[in-house]
Amino acid sequence: MAAPANPAIRLLDGYWYAGDPHPHFAWMREHAPLYWDEAGQVWGVATYEELVRVSKDTDTFCSRMSSRPDSPPIPSMINMDDPEHRRRRNLVNKGLTPRRVQDHEPKVRAICHELVDRVAPLGRCDFVRDIAGPLPMIVIGDLLGVEPEDRDMLLDWSDDLIGGTSMTAPQEAMDRAFRAFEQYAAYSRRVVADRRARPRDDMMSTLVHAEIDGQKLGDEDLLQEGLLILVGGDETTRHVITGGMEALLANPAERRKLRENPGLVPLAVEEMLRWVSPIKNMNRTATRDVELAGAHVRAGDKLVLLYPSANRDERVFPHADEFHVDREPNDHVAFGHGVHFCLGASLARLELRIMFEVLLERLPDLALATEEPLRLRPSNFIVGIEEMPVVFTPRP
């Protein structure tokens, strides 16, 4: 029997992800848990069960052939398998353990209050530009040792790089992504040279001076690891802050529940992560022929792990298409699963928890300032709201 096909599904098309792919994900989970996308020449792993299975079986489904389905591998830990992956990951992990991350709470809380201080007297702002975007860039930038005056530049480069991640991206977006990478590469070379000569107490210095089996990382490795940490720490958290607030605004009863019981914020953060799932997919490559979900996967085939689909799987999340701030349990896979589980998960959770504690306290009547649909940036990798005008009662 021929495998079911749905021409509306386009797994490498950023505009498809920026629309509403959830009805299509639901169709895949019901009719083709492992769906062959002829246009993209990739398998889509749609159910929670199969996504976890593929994530765990790193011998059969590897990362070293590229974490992206439409790009060759680059020398960063996300494109490696153990033991190489574990060695590289351990270099960064020391600064991101839950205990080390917890030490950043006072600083993160101060940043959140400073961001609200800037807009509170105005009674309006763009939530993305003024609140959601700056926090993760400041936090991850400080960990990497980014100079404060360079943050906006790095944020622009990050935006442009992700804007070029789609097989249907317009040439203008691809050109911006290329220029952003060239500019970031030149910046990275200057930073690496500086840390070699004058090491500091930051993550970039750790990477520059670290050794694996007696060998230091080369310039290209350092560039790619730095970029992975920067984009991973900036893009994803920003979109969960924005998407999480949008979900609260769209569900006033849930927002009221949270305001009346602030102790629910940690649970609400997990629901926001599940709901937004900012990373839309990661790629794995089959190392051998294998049967999966009733389909025959051949060695060399690419499989994209569809995290937003797994996070709406009704077999794992009752009423999965509803947003509940007190959902428990909530074993979402927004941070991935298995050996490539997001290195910055603890830091992201800290930023999200504190930001929403501050927002609920200081801007309790925040509301959307537009009835127009909020525009999402098209990408087949990381998707989020680009602009979100909001209003609130001005406060000194």
Residues of the chain with pLDDT under 50: none
Measured torsion, CA atoms of residues 316, 318, 320, 322, in degrees rounded to the nearest 10: -160
Report which DSSP code applies to 259. H
Q: Provide DSSP, 152-180.
A: HHHHHHHHHHHHT-STT--HHHHHHHHHH
For residues 298 and 228, give the distance between their C-alpha atoms in angstroms, rounded to a whole number. Answer: 30
What predicted TM-score, i.e. pTM, was given to this entire model?
Answer: 0.95
- Reported as a single tens digit per residue, the pLDDT across 112-160 is 999 999 999 999 999 999 999 999 999 999 988 989 999 889 888 888 8
**What pLDDT score was predicted for residue 166?**
65
In order of their start, the domains of the chain are 14-391 (1.10.630.10)
Q: Provide DSSP, 17-56.
A: HTS--HHHHHHHHHH-SEEEETTTTEEEE-SHHHHHHHHH
**What pLDDT score was predicted for residue 123?**
98
- Reported as a single tens digit per residue, the pLDDT across 340-362 is 999 999 999 999 999 999 999 99
Place of tokens 């600064």: 95
**What pLDDT score was predicted for residue 396?**
84
For residues 218 and 74, give the distance between their C-alpha atoms in angstroms, rounded to a whole number. Answer: 13
